[in-house]
Structure 1
């Protein structure tokens, strides 16, 4: 069964999680419900997620906006017309230039079809996307959570989510990823929505003015 969530169920799921977990209830009490972050199932969205790898959200968005300014519509064909220097001028690193080109070629050649991906189980999506250069588990987690609204993902490679989990649950800093993933399983089958509550806490506590995603 592919379990998803949407705007009509999001607050109900938040309430269910809060009823079972006092720490998540506390986040809602202090900051209210998180936004239901979502993105369209497009090449541009995947480029955006690639740009977000290991940099600030603001830096990634700046690069995406610069690319959009240069080519108007971010499509595989238009990106492949750009030279390395043109992409560098859009703040793309050498690695992210290569990853974005590889993704564009995969979509144009039909190696990957985003509409078809949307109908597949999480594990199959992960297998297909991680076969592409530059796409790892964190990128797939964000895609599953924000684009396909898959309900039961905890992105163990996301520092903000992991740090928020440690703080909210008062977990020792040296706790292993395996132990953290096991703790997050208490939120099944809605680990994605629980993670959005953690991100909400993290962002509000750090700087309420920072947009996300």
Structure 2
């Protein structure tokens, strides 16, 4: 059965994990409930994920907003109509131009159908995502969590989540990655919710009471 989270059960799942894990309980008591970060199942959301690769959330959001300003609605057809120079002016690197165009073509020719992913297992969705050039396991994790709201995902390639886990568990920086995965396995079948609690801790402990922290949160959820 496909496990998902929703506005109806999100806080309950946070409470369930907090009751099982003292570190998560402390996050909840210190920072409150995390935002339930989600995105619609659209081409735009997938482009956003591409733009987020190996750059700051703020930089990715700036590129996405620039693209929105240029073509208004982000669709495969409109993105494919842009020249290299126009995409570069929207802060796309040459590599990300290639990835976004190939994604647009895959959706146009129906080799990848976003709506169809909603009925597939997590592993099947992952297989379909990583088959797209430029989209790897981290992209699949973000898509599964934010877009499909799958409840049991932990992204080992996400530095913010990993560093937050090391911090709340008081682990050394060079801890074995398998140790981290073994910790998150205790949160099954709600690892996505535990990850959002980690992100919440990461953001709250690094921001000042200013618009900067809100901008980062907005970048995640858009």
> How high is the TM-score relative to the length of structure 1?
0.98
1:15-64 deviations in whole A, cap 9, x for unaligned?
Answer: 00001111101011111000000000000000001100010000000000
1:197 counterpart = 2:209? no
Distance in 2, matches of 1:150 and 1:185, equals: 15
Which stretch has the larger CA shift, 170-179 or 11-20? 170-179
Q: TM-score, normalised by structure 2?
A: 0.94
Residue equivalent to 1:63: 63
Q: Indicate the RMSD between aligned Cα atoms, in angstroms.
A: 0.8
Equivalent position of 1:81 in the other structure: 81
1:101 aligns to what?
A: 101
Instruction: Give the Cα separation in 2 of the matches to 1:46 and 1:91.
Output: 16
The answer to whether 1:151 aligns with 2:135 is no
d(CA) in 2 for partners of 1:180, 1:27: 18
Residue matched to 1:35: 35
The residue aligned with 1:135 is: 135
Report deviation, 1:171. 1.1
Task: Give, in angstroms, the shift of residue 175 of structure 1.
Answer: 1.3
What displacement does 1:178 show?
2.0
After the TM superposition, which segments of 4 or more aligned residues of structure 1 sit over 4 Å from their partners? Answer: none
- Alignment of 1:3 onto 2:3: yes
**Equivalent residue number for residue 126 of structure 1:** 126
Provide structure 2 residue ranges, at least 5 long, that are not aligned to the other structure.
Answer: none
CA distance in structure 2 between the partners assigned to 1:23 and 1:117 by the alignment: 33
Give a deviation string over 1:54-85, Cα, whole Å, max 9, x none. 10000000000000000000000000000111
**Deviations 1:111-145 (CA, angstroms, capped at 9, x unpaired):** 00111111100101111110110000000100000
Match of 2:166 in 1: 166
1:207 Cα deviation after fit:
1.1
Look up the SS of the partner of 1:187 in the other structure. Answer: coil
Measured in 2, the distance between the counterparts of 1:182 and 1:27 equals 20
Q: Which runs of 5+ in 1 are unaligned?
A: none
In structure 1, the residue matched to 2:44 is 44
Aligned residues: 213
Deviation at 1:176, TM superposition (A): 2.2
